[in-house]
Structure 1
Amino acid sequence: MKLGLALPTFGPDANPEGLLRVCRSAEDLGYDSLWTGDRVLAPLVPGARYPSADGKMPRAYENHMDPLVALTFAASHTTRVHLGTSTLNGLWQPPLMLARSLTTLDLLSQGRLVVGLGLGWMPDEYTAVSVPWQGRGARLDETLEVLEKYWANDVFSHEGPLFTIPETVVGLKPCRRPGPPVLLAAFSARGLRRIGRRYDGWLPVALPLPRLLGMWEVVLTAAGEAGRDPSALRMALRVNPELTDTRTDPEQMPRAGTLDQYIDYARAAAEAGVHELFVDFGQTAALAERDDLAGRFLEGVRRG
């Protein structure tokens, strides 16, 4: 199983020094990937509950970086690790602009980009960027269609329900052909089936492993029904640890626990067939602590 770290693109450490420190730690320690998320708004009173136990949006989101610009910075300060979005809201800009940005980043990183798309949870952000909240699934499907055409063809056009692109020459091509892998964050049965039918994999957040694997089976079944090879799909699991000083009840994992409990969780995930797992120590740890935590976590998981 590959292991990754989240870049500090949220909160007080979202600055050049913070990004550079985590980039260097990831490559020096031997991590496989770096990941960043996406926010455009931090309303004083969000129009929807945050998807967590207490329903409160983390204060760290009040300070947020552009994820693709941050990954471009990371690409220039690394040579080996893959660079992923977990997740990028692919509906907040026209798909042609998104295709150009992703292709540019894939080229600049020499083929290290992993595109993780999501739909977000807060209608306020859609209002802020003048994109309708309703019909997100259909908009996502058409966006993916444009990305695929852009990457696969030297000349293409698109005429769809939402977007019209006149015939154009596309000289810019990604390093990896036909394009970088595209993963989707989804949790509804409909979203999981969408992954199996069209995407390269799944971007879940940490859940009890039996529940996680049950949802993964929905993805694999949908892939088989669509005539795709289920074994070609991959799962990249995000873990947002809430670290405690003493061991928590097993029922609280992976919501909260000690570092050793998260190491055990990661080992079990690897045995269960999870392809990649990445952790965001910025949820509960200051930048100065991240190197130590990242080193101990990697050593513990690899030792197992």
Structure 2
Amino acid sequence: MRIGFSVPQFGPFADPDRTAVMCAALETLGCHSLWVADRLLAPLAPPDGYPGGKTMPVRYATHLDPLLALGVAAAATERVRLGSSTLNALWHPPVVLARALTTLDLISHGRLDVGLGLGWMREEYEAAGVPWRGRGERLEETLDVLDAVWRSDTVSHTGPLWTVPESTVLPKPRQGPRPPVLLGGFTPPALERVGRRADGWLAASMPLPFFEALWAVAAEAAERAGRDPAGLRRVFRVNPEVTEAEAGPEETHHRGTVRQICDHLRVMCAAETDEVLVDLQLTTDSPEEFLDLAAAFLAELAGPSRPRQPLP
């Protein structure tokens, strides 16, 4: 099992200097990866509400740009993988997105994992000037353009949404033929796309029957496309609500003691390449507590971790 944490970028952690110091500290603790998320705005009265029928956390209204935050994380670290879970791909023209991601892969010396998704908030699409309808088709063509830019010596693309004339687009990413591309989503079409053309799935900690049904869609799609489902990575995000008392067994995919939450994650991670992403930005306001909790999750999931140094 690989163990990753969120790049501090929301609410009280939306400070580039603090982000850099904390990313370096998380790497020192011994984690495998660091991941950014993507928010554009926080509507005061969103008509669609927040997924799961909850209220969107207030701290999501304060955020750092995910691509620039990844640049900060890349400069502050040397070893950890750096990814996005998830980057809302459709808010960027794909050629512009390819250039930014290539630059990040070069800055990080080949440590980038490209995690793309569609988001869930109509208001963000409206503010970005991107149609809400047809998101799946836009993502398919975005992936086509990214592949053309990254894989081809002479780049050319003609599609319903974008045209790229025969061009030279350099430099190429350090990772060849391209950085790994992981896709998010929790619907059958999203999982079908994962199996058909992605390197992995940006998933979440969830009840096992729900997970198994979704993963079966991806595995079957991979087999139909002549791909080996065992070669697909899975990254399970959890935004843990850590409690001192034990929670009920139906809650432990997101709520409970550190041990309960980790026990559920261990069950989900059936392959050596499976990874957990622990996002602690909704769990604490304190950098010190953030790092202490990160150390506790690492100790529970992977055994003893190196002691961390106090923050300057």
Q: Which amino acid aligns with 1:98?
A: L
Write the distance in 2 (CA, Å) between the matches of 1:38 and 1:62: 11
Write the distance in 2 (CA, Å) between the matches of 1:284 and 1:21: 19
> Given that residues 247 and 255 in structure 2 are in contact (C-alpha distance below 8 angstroms), is that contact kept between their aligned partners in structure 1?
yes
Q: Which residue of 2 aligns with 1:26?
A: 26
**Is the alpha carbon distance of 1:19 and 1:35 closer, same or farther for their aligned partners in structure 2, counting shifts above 3 Å?**
same
- CA drift of 1:273 comes to 6.1
Deviates further, 139-148 or 292-301 = 292-301
SS in 2 for 1:204: strand
Corresponding position: 1:49 with 2:66: no
- CA drift of 1:244 comes to 1.6
> Given that residues 263 and 297 in structure 1 are in contact (C-alpha distance below 8 angstroms), is that contact kept between their aligned partners in structure 2?
yes
The aligned runs of 1:145-184 (5 Å cut-off) are: 145-184=144-183
- CA drift of 1:20 comes to 2.0
- CA drift of 1:216 comes to 1.3
Q: Render the CA deviation track for 1:183-235: whole Å, top value 9, x for unaligned.
A: 11111111111111111110012101332133112111110011112221110
Q: Which amino acid aligns with 1:179?
A: R
Write the distance in 2 (CA, Å) between the matches of 1:237 and 1:191: 16
SS in 2 for 1:281: coil
> Given that residues 47 and 123 in structure 1 are in contact (C-alpha distance below 8 angstroms), is that contact kept between their aligned partners in structure 2?
no
Q: Which residue of 2 aligns with 1:90?
A: 89
**Is the alpha carbon distance of 1:273 and 1:30 closer, same or farther for their aligned partners in structure 2, counting shifts above 3 Å?**
closer
- CA drift of 1:267 comes to 2.2
Please give the TM-score of this superposition, normalised by the length of structure 1.
0.96
Structure 2 residue ranges without an equivalent (≥5):
305-312
Q: Which residue of 2 aligns with 1:202?
A: 201
Q: Which residue of 1 aligns with 2:308?
A: none
Corresponding position: 1:250 with 2:284: no
Q: Which amino acid aligns with 2:257?
A: T
Write the distance in 1 (CA, Å) between the matches of 2:200 and 2:240: 23
Q: Which residue of 2 aligns with 1:299?
A: 299
- CA drift of 1:57 comes to 0.9
Q: Which amino acid aligns with 1:264?
A: D
> Given that residues 16 and 69 in structure 2 are in contact (C-alpha distance below 8 angstroms), is that contact kept between their aligned partners in structure 1?
no
Q: Which amino acid aligns with 1:34?
A: L
Q: Which residue of 1 aligns with 2:307?
A: none
- CA drift of 1:26 comes to 1.8
Write the distance in 2 (CA, Å) between the matches of 1:101 and 1:63: 23
Higher relative contact order (CA 8 A, sep 6+): 2
- CA drift of 1:272 comes to 6.3
> Given that residues 110 and 175 in structure 1 are in contact (C-alpha distance below 8 angstroms), is that contact kept between their aligned partners in structure 2?
yes
Percent identity of the aligned residues?
A: 50
SS in 1 for 2:11: coil
Q: Render the CA deviation track for 1:42-74: whole Å, top value 9, x for unaligned.
A: 11111322113x421111111011101000111
Q: Which amino acid aligns with 2:31?
A: Y
Q: Render the CA deviation track for 1:219-261: whole Å, top value 9, x for unaligned.
A: 1111001111222111011111011221111111213111121
> Given that residues 156 and 167 in structure 2 are in contact (C-alpha distance below 8 angstroms), is that contact kept between their aligned partners in structure 1?
yes
> Given that residues 85 and 114 in structure 1 are in contact (C-alpha distance below 8 angstroms), is that contact kept between their aligned partners in structure 2?
yes
> Given that residues 26 and 33 in structure 1 are in contact (C-alpha distance below 8 angstroms), is that contact kept between their aligned partners in structure 2?
no
Q: Which residue of 2 aligns with 1:262?
A: 261
Q: Which residue of 1 aligns with 2:64?
A: 65
Q: Render the CA deviation track for 1:133-177: whole Å, top value 9, x for unaligned.
A: 000000000000000000011111111001111111122100111
SS in 2 for 1:41: coil
**Cα RMSD for the two superposed structures:** 1.4
Q: Which amino acid aligns with 1:168?
A: S
Please give the TM-score of this superposition, normalised by the length of structure 2.
0.94
Q: Which residue of 1 aligns with 2:35?
A: 35
> Given that residues 8 and 23 in structure 2 are in contact (C-alpha distance below 8 angstroms), is that contact kept between their aligned partners in structure 1?
no
Write the distance in 1 (CA, Å) between the matches of 2:218 and 2:25: 34
Corresponding position: 1:99 with 2:106: no
> Given that residues 75 and 108 in structure 1 are in contact (C-alpha distance below 8 angstroms), is that contact kept between their aligned partners in structure 2?
yes
**Is the alpha carbon distance of 1:18 and 1:210 closer, same or farther for their aligned partners in structure 2, counting shifts above 3 Å?**
farther
SS in 1 for 2:250: helix
